[in-house]
A and B are shown apart, each in its own frame.
Chain A
Amino acid sequence: MSEVTEYIIAGLLLLGGAFSLIGALGLARLPDFFTRLHGPTKATTLGVGAIMLSSVIYFSNSGEGLGVAEILITVFLFLTAPVSANMLAKAAMHIGVSPMDGTRGNPWDQ
């Protein structure tokens, strides 16, 4: 494995870890449910995507062929993240979780 690929893999790994951490930090720190929804759907999904990409590069460089399973998992996560966020938002609006003070507009429930 050349040095450049090693740097790329290490950089992607650290980027992925940082995004996972930031997503979790947002989940722990933001003030209400609807703002918390943003961290996991974007940051965490991209974090796992970056880690998968580094895994693909790592294993294709160590002579085990292209990793199809990683790509499938990544695509699946990117497809499902918005759907679960949407369903959770609907459920929260139905239960009547109140948004934080200073939120403009109103949630609706039908």
Chain B
Amino acid sequence: MLARIGFPQPWLSLLLFITWQLLSDGISGGSVVLGLILAWAIPRITYGFWPEPPGFVNAWRMPVYLAIVLWDIVLASFSVAKLILSPRKPRPAFICYPLQLEHPLAISILASTISLTPGTVSADVSDDQKLLLIHALDAEDNQAVIDSIHNRYEKPLMEMFK
């Protein structure tokens, strides 16, 4: 029904509408109209760029995941700060992480999470989307880094995107 009147991605449209209301000072008639126009037009214009919609089965797990990530960002900043302030040299490493997620959106969420959390920045995804190249700032053991990412972030994401 929603697709027929021109909202191919209702969630994206809703997000755009809410964001526009927050951006404009207070909700008024004008901002509602313009918000509706934007919520209608932007998904149409960007339609070709989106990968096919994911099977989002467990959307309610998202807030829990976000809370974990937010907490880890705080911890990550403290650990990076400690390393920057200490005089010893870091032990950086490039690590190939074997991906088990398949959907592009899930992979990009995982890559962003890795970039924001302790000691790791995701650098690249291989063309066949099977490997993620990670740069770790201070890693003793490659396997330990891979295991902790798998257990902490990839498993919840795998349950979300089936």
Asked if B81 lies at the interface with its beta carbon under 8 angstroms from chain A, I say yes
Asked if B52 lies at the interface with its beta carbon under 8 angstroms from chain A, I say no
A90-102: contact bitstring with B at CB < 8 Å (1 yes, 0 no)?
A: 1001000001101
A20-47: contact bitstring with B at CB < 8 Å (1 yes, 0 no)?
A: 0010011001111011011101110111
The complex places the Cα of A107 from the Cα of B134 at a distance, in Å, of: 9
The complex places the Cα of A99 from the Cα of B126 at a distance, in Å, of: 20
Query: Which listed residue, B95, B116, B139, B142, touches A45 by the CB 8 Å rule?
Result: B116
B residues with a Cβ closer than 8 A to A are 19, 22-23, 73-74, 76-77, 80-81, 84-85, 89-96, 111-116, 119, 121-124, 126-127, 133, 135, 137, 139, 142
A residues with a Cβ closer than 8 A to B are 18-19, 22, 25-26, 29-32, 34-35, 37-39, 41-43, 45-47, 68-69, 72, 78-79, 81-83, 85-86, 89-90, 93, 99-100, 102-108, 110
